[in-house]
Structure 1
Amino acid sequence: MAVENRSIAAQYEEELHSAFKRLGIPPIRPNDNVFRISTVRGRGKCWRACRDIQPGTPLIHEEVLFRIVRDETANNRHQSSFPAFRELSCPDPATPQRRFDANNFQMTGRNQRPCHGIFTQASRINHSCIPNAYFAWNPDLGLSGRLTVYAIARIPPNAEILIDYRSLDAFETRDERQQGRRHYGFDCTCPACRTDTEPGRESEKRRERMRVLESQIAQTKDQDPSEQTIDTLFDLFELSKLLQDEGLVYPHLADSFLGQALWWWRERERVAGRNGMAMYEEECREKEMQASRKKLELDIMANGHDSPEVTKTLSFMFT
């Protein structure tokens, strides 16, 4: 992608400033009292909003209570050493490993071996297939990294704050999603999983169509610019609309905008240097940047401006 004479750092700063201006994110610091932990019948503890929370609001930056490296297991030592771990919900029969499986978050980065961790507060957040918050591990925060949680939708006062435990299965059917979450010890009853209702049935249809579109788009991921067709761009547009209709803001909508940006980049590569194509080439570049900026806004909203994902998107835009 073209780079202007200004330094990369200056371009990054300008894009971040513009994105913040467009987003209008409120000046709330993480760990401000925007939520409280309370009890919900049949579901143990939960997070509830203390005030009206706008998208992009940082809810928490939390240090890990303890972590377990891949191939290791939780045991009685962890339960005796960490009272907060013992208090977390656990499906029957209760064992340290089952408690860990039901409450951990994946952690990566800084050349660490793959591991998962337990968090005193974040491990209390409940699940929804249509979440209003997003979690991510940021290895660059603090001395050893932090788990971040940001609002990705407006959350009214006293409403429950919810994340998607397994966003990778978002395009699966209700039954497939339930099967993939058995180790958590609950059956999801969010609106998308209520297939006995009209909204639930409509959600099921949307997700089935999104799975088809995702599969078609994936087949063109590494396509040569000379081989791509307009059909892929139409698929990306349709997927973006369905994601917004479904309320799946992140990460899938951000990925669809990245796909659009890549399509326009390939199109620009296809016509580069051809006679009479200068204006169209410039139009492709502008469309590419428009889609990239939409992704950047979602990255900032869901992860914070200092996240690795934001840096990656900025690098894509100006490299």
Structure 2
Amino acid sequence: MPYLQSFRGYPTVLNLFRNNNFDLGNGTQAVFGEISRLNHACVPNAQGNFNASLGSFTIHAVRPIEADEEITLSYLVEHGALSASRQSRLTDHYGFLCDCPACDMGSERGRKGEERRTRMQARLHEHAEGVAKRELPDLVAELEVMLEMVQMYEAEGIAGRELATMCLAVAELAAKVGRRDQVLEFSEKALRIDSDSVGTDSNLFHESLARVQAIGTSV
């Protein structure tokens, strides 16, 4: 019967939707005919975001893209994880293993990136242990860890909103400990990255701008 055939095909359709949809916010998810075809890279050259002001899902380059270079997005929420963790998530949620340059442990690029990420994971673990032992927060120590994270992201070539958000956090911490130069530096960097990765007409950019203004700096 026709409806039985439709029922049998439902899991396949559902899996296709789960593997290709984008989060538009407010619990809304959608699949796009062209954008959903963009492949994954752990260090992508583009970023996708829903622009509520335009009512459209947009793709922005986060670095120069060469002629004939494939446009890629990251399917992962965060980029600081080690290769094994990234591969596990991609396999579990999308059914493939990533072979991007960051995952190629046979290349110098892949090995150096994995070493940076391993050191950063150890640093974060060390910081978390220190936080658990202290009665009061050490904002300077937290700021130093955040600065190391930014440096690791930049060394890896990771850009986009995640880096912009991290720079905003650095600026906010710097303001609390009185490091005015870093407040200005990272506020400007955050807005520049957000401008490139989401566009100045995006509500996401204006949210970042509001955070900068709340710090009390003029950029």
TM range, smaller chain = 0.7 to 0.9
Q: Following the alignment from structure 1 to structure 2, what is the Cα–Cα distance between the partners of residues 205 and 214?
A: 14
- What are the Cα deviations for residues 158-215 of structure 1, in whole angstroms up to 9, with x where unaligned? 11011101132x2222121111112323211001111233321211111223334456
Equivalent residue for 1:288, pick from 183, 187, 190? 183
Q: What's the counterpart of residue 162 of structure 1?
A: 72
Conserved 8 A contact 1:128-1:162: yes
Q: 1:156 to 1:147 in 2, by over 3 A?
A: same
The answer on whether the counterparts of 1:134 and 1:150 sit within 8 Å (CA) in structure 2 is yes
Of Structure 1 and Structure 2, which has the larger fraction of its residues in helix? 2
1:177 pairs, out of 86, 104, 123, with: 86
Pick aligned residue for 2:41 from 122, 128, 140: 128
Q: Deviations over 1:54-107 (max 9, x none)?
A: xxxxxxxxxxxxxxxxxxxxx959x9xxxxxxxxxxxxxx81011112211111
Closer/same/farther in 2, CA of residues 204 and 188 from structure 1, 3 Å limit: same
- TM-align CA RMSD: 2.7
Q: Distance in 1 between matches of 2:120 and 2:160?
A: 14
Gaps of 5+ in 2: 215-219
Map of 2:15 onto structure 1: 98
Runs of 4+ in 1 over 6 A off after TM superposition: none
Q: CA deviation at 1:151?
A: 0.1
Residue 196 of structure 2 is aligned to residue 301 of structure 1? yes
**Matching residue of 2:116:** 206
Q: 1:39-66 deviations in whole A, cap 9, x for unaligned? A: xxxxxxxxxxxxxxxxxxxxxxxxxxxx
**Residues 192-243 of structure 1: per-residue CA shift (max 9 Å, x gap):** 11123332121111122333445638x97xxxxx853433333222222211
Q: Percent identity?
A: 29
Change (3 A) 1:174 1:133: same
**TM-score of the superposition, structure 2-length normalised?**
0.81
Greater Cα offset, 150-159 or 241-250: 241-250
Amino acid at match of 2:203: P
TM-superposed deviation, 1:260? 1.8
Q: Name the CA distance, whole Å, in 2 between partners of 1:136 and 1:95.
A: 26
One of 150, 161, 174 as aligned partner of 1:264? 174
* Cα distance in 2 for residues equivalent to 1:249 and 1:287: 19
What's the CA shift string for 1:242-266, capped at 9, x where partnerless?
A: 1111011123322331122112211
Using the size of structure 1 for normalisation, the TM-score is 0.57
**Greater C-alpha radius of gyration:** 1
Structure 1's unaligned 5+ residue stretches are 1-74, 80-93, 221-225, 269-283
Equivalent residues of 2:41, 2:98 under 8 A apart: yes
